[in-house]
Each structure stands twice: as C-alpha cells, then as structure tokens.
Amino acid sequence: MGWLDDMTEERSGSDLFSTLRDPAPWLLDAMGAAPTTSGEPVSEEKALRLSVVYGCVRLIAETASLPPLRLYRRETTTDDEGRKSTRRHRVDSPEARVIRQPNRFMTEASFRETLTAHLALWRNAYAEIERDRNGDPINLWPVPPWRAQVEVVDGQKVVVVDVTARDGSQERRTLWPGDYLHLHALSLDGLKGRPLLSGGWDDGDARNSVGLSLAIEKDAALYYRHGMKMQGYWVTEGSFDDDVREKLEQELRTLTQGLDNFHRTALLEEGVEWKEMGGGAPVVEQLLAMRVFQVQDIARFFGITQLHKLGDLSRATFSNIGEQREEFYTDTMMVYFLRWEQFVGLQLLSPEQQRDHYYKFNTRALLRGSFADELESLRGSVVDGLLTLDEARELIDRDPYPNGIGALPRFQLNTASAEPTGQAAAAPPAPAPPAKPSPAPSPKQLARQVIQALRPSLQRSAEHFTRREARAAQRAWTRSKHDPATFETAMERTWRELPEAMRRELQPTVEAAVAAVEALGGGSDNLRAIAEEHLDDIVARYLEHSRRELAEGLASASQDGESRPGQWLEATLDHWQTHRADELAGEEIDQLAARLVEAAFDGEESDP
C-alpha cells in the first residue's frame, strides 16, 4: 500500500500501490478540489468533522466488519434416498483465503471496515485484485475513492485511477474487469454510486444538509465566542475620532467577548450608554432545535432512522429499544451485507465458479436476542428436527457431543402425516424381488472408470490457465491499441510462458491417472512416457487452437463492417472462461484413458 513506508522499497505488492508514497497529496486534493454550489466547499473529509456524519460512517463501517464473510459451494449428491442438495464451506480456495487475509497489512475486519466506510461516505468503494500467474487472487489492495472513477471502454466497465509516481508526476492507470473490486450504493446508471457530497463529478444529494450543519456549527461557535449575553448596541450623544473609537471597541471586546468574560460588568466612558436588545433566548432555542433536526436529517441520508445508535435516546424507551436494534440490522445493514455478497461474488469469482459458489455473511450473532430467548428458539428447532444437537451447540459456541451422539436429528414420536378424510391408508408395497448381482468390472474397465473420475481435477486445472490466457488477451488488446495486426505480437510473451504453466497445472492429474492404472495391475513399462507424450499433445493442440481462433476471428471481424473486433474478442474470451475448461477436460480425459488402458492392458479382452 502506497501510504506505508516499506511499500516504497519493495515491489512485491500491487503495482498500483507500490508507486504511491504519501497520502498527504490525496487528502489535499480531495479537500480543495470538490466543486461547490455556494459558499465554502463541502467535501467528504470536512463532513467527517460533524459528529453525526462521523457517527453514521463509523457505525455502518464497524458493524459491517463484525460478521464473517465466507465462501460456500452448492453440492448435489445422489444416493439410495434420492438427490440431496447441500452446501460446503470452502476453506482452501484462493477466493476464500483472500477474503480472510486481504493483504499482509490488513485483517479481514479492517479491510472490510475501510471499504465500507468508503461505500457509506463516497458511495463507491474500490480495491485492486492482485493475481498470481494462474489467475488466482492473492491480495486485495484498497483504492482511495477520490482517486478513482468508472468509465466504459470497448463495452467493458473499467476503473481509471490517478496515480502519483515516485518522482511526483501524475499518471493514470486502467483496471480491467477481473483486476478490480467495485462496490457502489444507489446508482442511476448501474455503473457507479450516486455521490452523497462531492463525489468528484457532481453535486451530491446531501450537500446542502451537511453544508447547513457546518454553517450552524460555525455560527454556534461564533455566538459563544463573541459573548451571547452582550446583544445590543451603544449610544452616545457626541462623536469620536478614529483613535478613540478604536480604543473603545478594543476595550469592549476585551471585556465582553469569549466564554471567560460572561457576566462581567463593562465600564463605559465618554457618555456611552448600553442598550440591550431582546431575542437572545429565542435565538438560542432555535439554534439548539436546528442542531437536533440536522442530526435526523443527515442520518436519514445514511439510512439510519434508529437514532439511539447515534446516542440520541429521545425517541427510545425500554419497551422498544430491542425492536429498534433489530430494525437497524434489517433495514440499514442488510443492504450493505447484500452489496458485499453480490459484488464480491460477481467480481472475484470466475463465470464457471459463479454457477455453484457464493459468498454469505453469518449475521446470526448480530440478530441474537437475550440468551434465554435464544435457548428457547434452539430447543424448539431441535425438538422439531430442524437442527441436530451438535448444530445447536455450535450456534452457542459449544463443542459437539463425543462419539457422534448429537449428530443425528431428533423427531417427536407422537406425530404422523395426516391421511385424506374418508380414505384408508394405502397398503405397503410388496417387497421387490432381489436384484440380480451385476458382474464385477474387470481391471481394464475399472482403470477406465478411475481415470474418468479424474475429469473434475483436470477441469479445475484447466480453469486456471484458461482464465490467465483470457486476461492476458484483454491486456494485449489494450496494449496493441485495438489493432488486430499487432495483437498477436502483444500475445507472444503469454504464449511463451503458457506451456510451462499448463504442464505445471496438468501434471498432477496425469500422474494420478498413471498411478491408478499401475495399482490395478497394468503391466507396461512405458506408461509414464505415454502420459508425458499425451501431456505434450494437450499443450500443443491448445496453443495451436488459441492462435488460430484468435487470428482468424479478429481478421474476419475486422473485414465485417457490421461487427467490431473488440466485441468479438470480448464474446470469445467470455466463452473461453465459461466453457473451454469443461470442453478440454471432457475431450482430453477420454483420450488419456484410451491411451493408458490400451498400453497397460494390451493382452486382455476388449470391454464388453
């Protein structure tokens, strides 16, 4: 991160933040560059000086950092009892690890607190996604929202960031889809959140309310500093020269202005008489009433109607404080939780993973009532079979029972399903005749089945380098300035490095296939040589197909007046990331199984 000293010395982190040095220019720019409607500029940093704005942002950000955000996968299994849908917590996935540890400087809570504060005040929150060579996310680096803006380039949503280089020069960096995380609040165009104050582009919705509060606060400070009791005027029969007038005014200011000079008696000379004006008390009452109203007005922009959370207990009673607490989580915070879950899932997961993976907050701890009410709810859930004893104990942070005695659900024995009126229960079906046992598969058949079972592993490996190639193609298209003639030159480095990455990804699956065949009695000395040859064929065919499809497709799209090369490339790369790994795994695992089984069981009879 650019505002940390050691990031200026090492370049192992994000390229964006390793080129930044000091946050002071960012703050200076943001505090002075915000457009104004009238009077003093109103920026997000100045708004934080108001206790109600700071309280709203702090409350939302800290609450959003409390519940854990976890990655789950939907799984469907089939057994004798039918199809079952379950979910499994993904702990070892790179997309799960990067949420638990966003970068080496920030914890999960501090990272989420920072981005939620940006989201609440700037209505947009950005982070750069740093990926390894396989395309897996390894770091998330927060981007200051006052340095970023959203643009559309070639039909793609990109984030353009203003960067201060080490030599002090200004440059702009473009983050393409897959390289950034963008959360936004209420939007009218679907691309970026509508600004609350300045936003860097337009006048914000809450600009007048916050500006009024700042003006009231400044007016109150001046009112007390100048002496709220000395409201009136001085009367004299004669006139003074400039020196006498200046001396008299200085003495009166010294005697009357400031909190320390309240209730002091002024000694007036030269025939000066003090005339007091009325209206002091009404002015004070109106000032206090406006400050109370501004708390409600500004809190309304942040979606906080439960003012007791901001320290205002004027509308809270002992009977409704619990209900207001639940309303805060359901009405105010749930929308922030939903934005985190959906935006992170959309931008951090690949299109293939989005089919069965999703992020979810565990907000149960936030919505808990009293411990007695929680125990009563858990007891009913256990009695009705909704939860097992171990699941209920986990919800109250207790260890499961030993020996698995709490792992099975419990049901009441005095309940039964209702039968239709006037109809007798159907007779139990007659037992089916015992099924004829199927013959045991031969070692050759079993070897083919084991290799086919490795298809998911081969598909996951293929997803890594297909995503890497697709992202490299997007960057190459940008570097070549959308010129199909120079695009292939920009891709040369990727195609030189891709074979090694493919072999590294596919090697464990191929070795597992060889080991399975050898374990089943396959007697051939050249199995590993055959596997290595097939691995080389996979790499060669993949690269040849990539080069030919991109070259021919871009050339055809350039000649076709109705289509654009950029649109064709975007559609092709999207298809690659969604379907290509599955197609490659299905084709190559069949060929690998055929070659290994044929070589290992050459002397045996063919499969029936």
Chain segment 502-520, per-residue pLDDT in tens: 888 888 888 888 887 777 7
Nearest to 73 by CA among 55, 57, 93, 59: 93
What does the pLDDT read at residue 10? Answer: 38
Report CA Rg, the chain: 35
Strands annotated E in 176-276: 180-184, 232-235, 273-276
Quick one: average pLDDT of 417-438? Answer: 57
Quick one: average pLDDT of 465-482? Answer: 81
Which phi-psi region, left, alpha or beta, contains residue 135 (left: φ > 0; alpha: ψ -120 to 50)?
left
Cα separations in angstroms, 471 against 117, 193, 546, 574: 30, 26, 14, 10
- Cα–Cα distance measured from residue 368 to residue 434, given in angstroms and rounded to the nearest whole number: 52
pLDDT band at residue 140 under the 50/70/90 scheme: very high
Secondary structure (3-state) at 76: strand
Query: Does pLDDT of 99 surpass 90?
Result: yes
What does the pLDDT read at residue 516? Answer: 79
Cα separations in angstroms, 130 against 173, 283, 348, 449, 579: 14, 57, 11, 39, 24
Residue in this structure with the two tokens 């914000």, named with its chain if needed: 204
pLDDT band at residue 531 under the 50/70/90 scheme: confident
Lowest-pLDDT range, 11-20, 364-373, 462-471, 538-547? 11-20
pLDDT digits (tens, 9 = 90+) for 325-376: 778 888 889 999 999 999 999 999 988 888 889 999 888 767 665 566 677 7
pLDDT digits (tens, 9 = 90+) for 187-219: 888 898 888 777 444 466 666 777 777 777 776
Question: How many C-alpha atoms does 48 have within 13 Å on its Cβ side?
Answer: 12
CB-count exposure of residue 227 (10 Å: 0-12, 13-18, 19+): buried
What does the pLDDT read at residue 181? Answer: 95
- Tell how far CA 457 is from the center of its chain: 28
Q: Say if residues 531 and 514 touch (Cβ distance below 8 Å).
A: yes
Of 176 and 168, the one with more pLDDT:
176
Secondary structure (3-state) at 143: strand
Of 55 and 426, the one with more pLDDT:
55
pLDDT digits (tens, 9 = 90+) for 552-594: 888 887 776 555 787 888 888 888 877 888 888 888 888 888 8
Of 65 and 251, the one with more pLDDT:
65
pLDDT digits (tens, 9 = 90+) for 240-265: 677 777 877 777 777 666 656 655 66
- Cα–Cα distance measured from residue 502 to residue 504, given in angstroms and rounded to the nearest whole number: 5
pLDDT band at residue 27 under the 50/70/90 scheme: very low
What does the pLDDT read at residue 485? Answer: 77
What does the pLDDT read at residue 513? Answer: 82
Residue 7 φ then ψ, to 5°: -75, -20
Task: Please report, rounded to a whole number, the percentage of residues in the chain having pLDDT higher than 90.
Answer: 15
Residue in this structure with the two tokens 């293929």, named with its chain if needed: 462
pLDDT digits (tens, 9 = 90+) for 280-292: 555 556 666 666 7
Residue in this structure with the two tokens 């079993």, named with its chain if needed: 446
Q: Say if residues 177 and 162 touch (Cβ distance below 8 Å).
A: no
- Cα–Cα distance measured from residue 445 to residue 215, given in angstroms and rounded to the nearest whole number: 83
Q: Taking the chain, what is the end-to-end CA distance rounded to the nearest angstrom?
A: 63
Q: Say if residues 174 and 153 touch (Cβ distance below 8 Å).
A: yes
Cα separations in angstroms, 321 against 140, 310, 346, 525: 38, 13, 37, 77
For the chain, the average pLDDT equals 75
Residue 497 φ then ψ, to 5°: -90, -20
Lowest-pLDDT range, 17-21, 48-52, 478-482? 17-21
Lowest-pLDDT range, 151-155, 253-257, 299-303, 455-459? 253-257
- pTM (two decimals): 0.58
What does the pLDDT read at residue 151? Answer: 92
What is the chain's length? 608
Quick one: average pLDDT of 148-166? Answer: 88
pLDDT band at residue 318 under the 50/70/90 scheme: low
Lowest-pLDDT range, 51-60, 171-180, 217-226, 461-470? 217-226
Residue 64 DSSP one-character state: H
Q: Which two tokens stand for residue 259?
A: 């909190």
Q: Say if residues 61 and 78 touch (Cβ distance below 8 Å).
A: no
Amino acid at 531: A
Residue 411 DSSP one-character state: -
Q: Say if residues 407 and 388 touch (Cβ distance below 8 Å).
A: yes
Quick one: average pLDDT of 443-463? Answer: 80
Query: Does pLDDT of 413 surpass 50?
Result: yes
Helices (H) and strands (E) in the chain, counts: 20, 11
Of 443 and 522, the one with more pLDDT:
443
Quick one: average pLDDT of 65-86? Answer: 77
What does the pLDDT read at residue 182? Answer: 95
- Cα–Cα distance measured from residue 495 to residue 489, given in angstroms and rounded to the nearest whole number: 10
Nearest to 13 by CA among 493, 32, 607, 5: 5
Question: How many C-alpha atoms does 321 have within 13 Å on its Cβ side?
Answer: 10
Which of 47-61, 394-408, 512-526, 557-571 is modeled with the greatest confidence? 47-61
